[in-house]
Amino acid sequence: MFGDFAPQLVHFTDDVLFGEVWERPDLSPLDRALITVTSLVTSGSTEQLSHHLCRAKDNSVTEADSKPTRAR
């Protein structure tokens, strides 16, 4: 969508954010997806939520992962 008038923005988003940054081995894809979705929900940034929920499912996030755990 942005590629026609802002190809560098597409490069930054696709190659840098979802490539280099997202693929860093410090966190598993599952943990990274959970953190991203949680951050979007708690910050009220719901316009990106549907995209990241799909990516979370692709990264094996399940409904059970979304349920809070209780401290004992």
Please report, in tens digits, the pLDDT of each residue of the chain (72 residues total): 666 777 777 777 777 777 777 777 888 888 888 888 888 899 998 888 888 888 888 888 877 776 666 654
Residue 34: Cβ-neighbour burial (10 angstroms; 0-12, 13-18, 19+): middle
Q: What is the pLDDT at residue 66?
A: 65
Contact 34, 65 (CB under 8 A): yes
Q: What is the pLDDT at residue 1?
A: 60
**Where do we find the tokens 């954010």?**
17
Say how far apart CA 57 and CA 34 lie, in whole Å.
10
Say how far apart CA 24 and CA 15 lie, in whole Å.
13
Q: What is the pLDDT at residue 69?
A: 67
Contact 31, 39 (CB under 8 A): no
Q: What is the pLDDT at residue 15?
A: 76
